[in-house]
Structures are given as C-alpha cells and as structure tokens.
Amino acid sequence: MPFESTIDVFARALSDPARPVPPQTMGREGRPDAHRFAVYRNNVAVGLIGAIEARYPVTRRLVGDAFFRAMARAYVAEEKPRSPVLIHYGAGFADFVARFEPARAIAYLPDVARLENAWVEAYHAAEAAPLTLAALGKIDPGEFGALRFSPHPAARLLRVSHPAASIWAGHQGAGEPRPPESWRAEDALVTRPEADVLVRVLPHGGYEFAFALFAGATLAEAAETSADEGFDPGSHVVGLIEAGAIERIR
C-alpha cells in the first residue's frame, strides 16, 4: 500500500474509535493488535486533554476533575489542533463549553473559560514596554483630545454577563475559593506589562471607552461612547496606562 494510504488509514482510525485497528499494522502475533493501537489512541487523547487542563485550571476547579476531563475529552474529539504549537490550542473551548449540554446549568462557566483563554493569550503575547504616565505628561493637555493610542500586544478586553473575573480571582491560590461580592456582569481588562499577567475589573463605561481607543478612536471620540454626565475620560485613560494596556501614542 502506498505510504500516503497507510498513514491515512492510521490517522482515521486514531480519530475514530469505531474504525477497526489498521489491517497493515501488527503486533508480535503478526496481526493487528487492539491493545497496541489503543496506546496511540490514548496518547493522542490524553495529550490534548492535558493541554486543555493546563489552559483552563479555574474552569476545571469549578466543575471538578472528572467532569472537566469528560468535557475536555468531548472537545478534543471534535476539535484537533490546527498547528503543532499547542500553546494556541483550545482557544475555542469556551464556545464549546457554552454548547456542552451537561454544563448548561453552570451559566457562568463559559465566561470563566473566556477569561482564562485571554489570560493565556496575554501570557504568550509579544514583549513591549507600555506607555507611562510620565510620557503622557510631556504632552500639551490642549492636544489630548486628538490623541490616538496603540494597545499593548498583551491587552485583552472582555465583556461577560457574569462576575467571571471575580470568580476567577476568588479561585487563585490553593485556599478555599472566595465567592464574588456581588453577582453582576463584569467587564475585564487583561494585561501583561512585564512578566506577570494582570486581571482587573473595569469601572462602569470603561469597556466602551477602551474598546473605542483600542480600535483607533481619538481620546475625544472615545469619551463620546459614554452618555453619563460625570464620565471622566481622564481617569479612564490613566487607569488603562497604569494597567499597562497601552503601548504608545500613535
């Protein structure tokens, strides 16, 4: 059998347990051996499940090891990595969790998974020195309204309908988890100005403002995203800079 066909049969049988052990393989008896082929099937599944477990530790803690493993097993059966760079694998897991029937009762679970994915993306993002308040201080305040900013490569904005950031924060460390102080939707900002990934909850209006700035709006344009009387764009931009969310003035 040509090389291509042999590998094709092998690969299909690996991914589909209903298929027979490839007939062109053999154990010591000279015939296909289910235990032997199962080692490869198991390696593929266990390796990919391990990648999902490593990426979503709080999601795993929330549902327990056995439930998470079953959920991850279903995900890896459906979604194989498109690249050998596994640090990018599992980015779509939150959407899968949202569709995963047995997890439907835990409505906040996909949001926590979204936050954990943003955390991993920030962790591996490119290095860049963030903009400092000192650098902003050198600019004539009369020009502030026309300023545009480039977001830091690690900065991620997240709007979720549950207190996912507070749940996530309450599950850091080995101690007893802390419940969120109030049960409400949260907007989160994930940054990594230096080595450590930082997660913070944005104040009211902060998400729309930051979203507009990151999309290339001027400071004045971004300020118009809020209809609130007392909205102070200055405090929001200072907050973003202090979080390391902005790389530079464009």
Partner 1 sequence: MSASPARVAAPLPKRGGVGLKADHVDQILAERPDLGFFEIHAENYMGDGGPAHRRLEAIRARYPLSLHGVGLSIGSPRPLDKDHLKRLAALAERYQPGLFSEHLAWSSHDQGFLNDLLPLPYTRETLATVCDHIDETQQALGRRMLLENPSTYLLFTESTIAETDFLAEIARRTGCGLLLDVNNVIVSATNHGFDALAYLDAFPLRHVGEIHLAGYADAEDDAGRPLLIDAHDSPVRDGVWALYAETIRRLGPTPTLIEWDNDVPAWPVLFAEARRAELAMARALGAGAGKELRHAV
Judged by the rule CB under 8 A, the positions of this chain that interact with partner 1 are 1-4, 6-8, 10-12, 14-15, 24-29, 32-37, 39-40, 43-44, 47-48, 51, 80-87, 89, 122-128, 153-154, 192, 195-196
Angle separating helix axes 65-78 and 34-55, nearest 10 degrees: 110
- Residue 82 or 138: the one with the smaller Cβ distance to partner 1 is 82
- Residue 76 or 223: the one with the smaller Cβ distance to partner 1 is 76
Type of residue found at 39: V
Minimum distance from residue 42 beta carbon to partner 1 (Å): 9
- Residue 103 or 155: the one with the smaller Cβ distance to partner 1 is 155
Minimum distance from residue 77 beta carbon to partner 1 (Å): 10
Minimum distance from residue 126 beta carbon to partner 1 (Å): 4
- Residue 11 or 238: the one with the smaller Cβ distance to partner 1 is 11
Minimum distance from residue 214 beta carbon to partner 1 (Å): 18
Minimum distance from residue 65 beta carbon to partner 1 (Å): 15
Q: Are 14 and 44 in contact (CB under 8 A)?
A: yes
Q: Are 22 and 37 in contact (CB under 8 A)?
A: yes
Minimum distance from residue 124 beta carbon to partner 1 (Å): 3
Minimum distance from residue 80 beta carbon to partner 1 (Å): 3
Q: Are 87 and 54 in contact (CB under 8 A)?
A: no
Provide the CA 217 distance to its chain's centre, in angstroms.
25
Q: How far is CA 159 from CA 97, 150, 210, 220, in A?
A: 17, 20, 12, 23
Q: Are 14 and 42 in contact (CB under 8 A)?
A: no
- Residue 44 or 249: the one with the smaller Cβ distance to partner 1 is 44
Taking the C-alpha atoms of residue 92 and residue 111, their distance in angstroms, rounded to an integer, is 12
Tokens of 73: 């097993």
Taking the C-alpha atoms of residue 39 and residue 148, their distance in angstroms, rounded to an integer, is 55
- Residue 56 or 209: the one with the smaller Cβ distance to partner 1 is 56
- Residue 84 or 142: the one with the smaller Cβ distance to partner 1 is 84
Across 53-154, the runs of DSSP E, i.e. the strands, are 149-151
Taking the C-alpha atoms of residue 52 and residue 121, their distance in angstroms, rounded to an integer, is 14
Tokens of 178: 């802390």
Residue with tokens 């053999």: 26
